């Protein structure tokens, strides 16, 4: 089970930046297709907000992956007494 946690940790580490790059490429695609200046401005604003919201989410995904890859989750507490 711990090996699976480390493998998935590496997946999360890679997945964070990949998601941001995918969102940026989609934003460039959609902004370039906009027909008028107002459409381009609205599309730019929408994609800017989407990307700004997803940057901290993806950063958290990378941090979670780093902890998992380092083995911080190898032994999880089973009772509340173990938390002290």
Query: How much is the pTM?
Result: 0.81
Q: For 44-81, write each residue's pLDDT tens digit.
A: 999 999 999 999 999 999 999 999 999 988 888 888 88
pLDDT above 70 covers a percentage of the chain that reads: 100
Nearest residue to 63 via CA among 22, 9, 21: 9
List the domain boundaries for the chain. 2-72
Give the list of residues 6+ apart from residue 58 with CB closer than 8 angstroms, or none: 15, 16, 17, 19, 20
Q: Given a cut of 80, is residue 84 above it in pLDDT?
A: no
């Amino acid at each position: 089970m711990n090996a699976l946690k480390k493998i998935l940790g590496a997946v999360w580490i890679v997945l964070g930046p990949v998601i941001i790059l995918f969102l940026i490429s989609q934003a460039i695609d959609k902004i370039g297709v906009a027909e008028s200046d107002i459409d381009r401005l609205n599309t730019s604003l929408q994609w800017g907000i989407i990307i700004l919201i997803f940057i901290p989410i993806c950063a958290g995904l990378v941090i979670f992956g780093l902890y998992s890859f380092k083995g911080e989750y190898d032994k999880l507490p089973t009772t509340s007494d173990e938390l002290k």
